[in-house]
Structure formats: structure tokens, C-alpha cells
């Protein structure tokens, strides 16, 4: 019997049943590691695949925790992106997120928004802020600092309220903390002012997102935030 398993988003295999069990003993494969073999309709946690004894679909009302592999009612799981996490594993899950060991994707794929998609979102926001400034200019004269104030208020209020500006919302992006939580008002303010430093570095602060493994720009690094795709915010609080 030949198995495949996922290691940091990469498919490893085929490996024999015996070899896979050796990897389990050494800790390289655990109950939460997603595995697949011929005949299985989809990847499943090793903890479920070995306990089930037979290949089949997960029960409709039950789902496996992505960390420990134990089966729980779907109502008892916290969902991050598409990853179900049980209450016992939640602290460990968040710690792995903070350390950058874990990303919020289900099987394969980078959930962090990269330089180019963030650039498009930023361009959309600049257009909207430009329109706001133009409308305000008809009401009263626009002193030089006012366009900057409009941009700061626009960014802070919308990020605090929706974890995203309109440009990010259109592209289904969100700004989150290192553990996947929405940013609050204080962090939104700090991040907006930190963004000014990315401008003052002649844009190099933004360019860092193209090279960082979690796509962090300078202001993300300063505020310990991430920009993620597909609205990966908690759907249920434990």
C-alpha cells in the first residue's frame, strides 16, 4: 500500500505503510498530517485515516481537527479559513501561526496576499481617496496636509471596522494579526502610520512583501500583521 502525505504544503511520496508508520514514530507525521492513497476521494488526517480502517467520506456531521486528528461535531470546532481546530488544540494552533510554521490554507497553496495583488488593491484605494479629496475640494480649500489626513482616516476606520479597505474587500483580502484575528482600532492606527514609513523608504517597504515568506511589508513587520486571501477570519469563537 503506497501513501502520500503533505509536509509544509509539499506532497511527499509514495511511501509504504511501514515507512509511514516509522515517520509517525519519529514525529515527522502526526495525527493531523493530511494523507492520501489510491481509492481515497480526498486527503484526510492520518488520525482519521488510520482509525477508520477503511477508506470513506467523513461523516456529514463530524469533522477531524486539523491538529490532533480527533473527530468532533462541526459545531464544536473553530474554523480558520477551511481548517477546523478543536478547543484543546487552539493554543498550539495559534502558536504555530505566530511562529510562521503554519499557514491558514487547507492543503496546498499560499494564503498570504503577495506584492502584486496588494498593489492592485492599494491602487484601487488611491483612486477612491482621490475621489474623496476631489469632492472635499469643492466644499472648502484643500490645504496640503488634508489629503494625507483623508487617507489616514479612510484607512484606519475601514481597517478597524472590516479588517480591510474597499480595495482589499474587492479582492477578498483581509488584514489580520499574527494569530489570524481581526485588527482592532489601536492596531489599525499603528499600521496606518507605519505605512508612511514604507512610503518614506521610496516604496522599498512595500517591496519587502515580494520577498518575505509571509508576504509582509515593512509596516506588517512593525505591527506584526498579515494580509491574507479569501477572508480567512474566525467564523466561530470558542
Per-residue model confidence as pLDDT tens digits over 65-108: 666 656 677 777 777 656 677 887 777 776 666 554 454 443 33
Q: Give CATH for domain 2-98.
A: 3.30.1490
Can you give the pTM of this predicted structure? Answer: 0.53
Who wins on pLDDT, 29 or 206? 206
Q: Rounded to 5 degrees, what angle do the CA atoms 130, 210, 204 make?
A: 60
| 234, 181 Cβ separation under 8 angstroms | yes
Question: Per-residue pLDDT for 42 more than 50?
Answer: yes
Does pLDDT of 237 surpass 80?
no
Give the tens place of pLDDT for each residue, 166-216.
999 999 898 988 766 788 899 999 999 999 998 888 888 899 988 888 889
Show me where the domains of the chain are located.
2-98, 115-229
Lowest pLDDT segment from 2-6, 38-42, 67-71, 130-134: 67-71
pLDDT above 70 covers what percent of the chain? 72
In 3-state terms, what secondary structure has residue 98? helix
- Look over the chain and give the mean of its residue pLDDT values, rounded to a whole number: 77
Strand segments (E) across the chain: 2-7, 10-16, 34-36, 44-45, 62-64, 71-73, 78-80, 83-85, 173-177, 225-229
| Candidate from 10-19, 39-48, 130-139, 155-164 with smallest mean pLDDT | 39-48
- The sign of the dihedral angle between the CA atoms of 213, 120, 186, 148 is positive
Amino acid at each position: 500500500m503506497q501513501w502520500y502525505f503533505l509536509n509544509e504544503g509539499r506532497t511527499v511520496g509514495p511511501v509504504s505503510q511501514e515507512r509511514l508508520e516509522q515517520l509517525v514514530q519519529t514525529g515527522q507525521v502526526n495525527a493531523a498530517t493530511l494523507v492520501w492513497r489510491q481509492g481515497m476521494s480526498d486527503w484526510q488526517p492520518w488520525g482519521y485515516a488510520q482509525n477508520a480502517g477503511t477508506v470513506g467520506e467523513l461523516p456529514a456531521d463530524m469533522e477531524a481537527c486539523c491538529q490532533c486528528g480527533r473527530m468532533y461535531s462541526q459545531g464544536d470546532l473553530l474554523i480558520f479559513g477551511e481548517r477546523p481546530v478543536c478547543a484543546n488544540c487552539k493554543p498550539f494552533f495559534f502558536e504555530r501561526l505566530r511562529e510562521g510554521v503554519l499557514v491558514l490554507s487547507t492543503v496546498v497553496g499560499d494564503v498570504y496576499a503577495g506584492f502584486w495583488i496588494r498593489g492592485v488593491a492599494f491602487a484601487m484605494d488611491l483612486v477612491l481617496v482621490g475621489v474623496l479629496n476631489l469632492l472635499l475640494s469643492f466644499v472648502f480649500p484643500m490645504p496640503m496636509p488634508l489629503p494625507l489626513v483623508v487617507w489616514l482616516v479612510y484607512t484606519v476606520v475601514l481597517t478597524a471596522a472590516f479588517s480591510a479597505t474597499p480595495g482589499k474587500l474587492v479582492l477578498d483580502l483581509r488584514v489580520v494579526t499574527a494569530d489570524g484575528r481581526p485588527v482592532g482600532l489601536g492596531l489599525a492606527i499603528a499600521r496606518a502610520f507605519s505605512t508612511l514609513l514604507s512610503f518614506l523608504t521610496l516604496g522599498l517597504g512595500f517591496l519587502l512583501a515580494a520577498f518575505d515568506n509571509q508576504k509582509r511589508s515593512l509596516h506588517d513587520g512593525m505591527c506584526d500583521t498579515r494580509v491574507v486571501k479569501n477572508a480567512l477570519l474566525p467564523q466561530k469563537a470558542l
